[in-house]
Amino acid sequence: MLTDHQIAMLCDIGQSIAFAADRQDEILELIREGYVAKDGDIYELTPKAEKVLTDRGAGLNEA
Assigned domain for 23 exists:
yes
Assigned domain for 61 exists:
no
pLDDT (tens digit per residue) in 20-63: 878 889 999 999 999 999 988 889 999 999 999 988 876 555 43
Q: Which of 11-15, 17-21, 25-29 has the lowest mean pLDDT?
A: 17-21
The count of domains in the chain is 1
Assigned domain for 38 exists:
yes
From residue 49, how far is each of 25, 36, 55 by CA, in Å?
Answer: 18, 7, 10
Residue 29 structural domain? 4-56
CA–CA gap between residue 36 and residue 14 (Å, rounded): 10
pLDDT of residue 20: 80
Which phi and psi angles does 21 have, rounded to 5°?
-60, -30
pLDDT of residue 47: 96
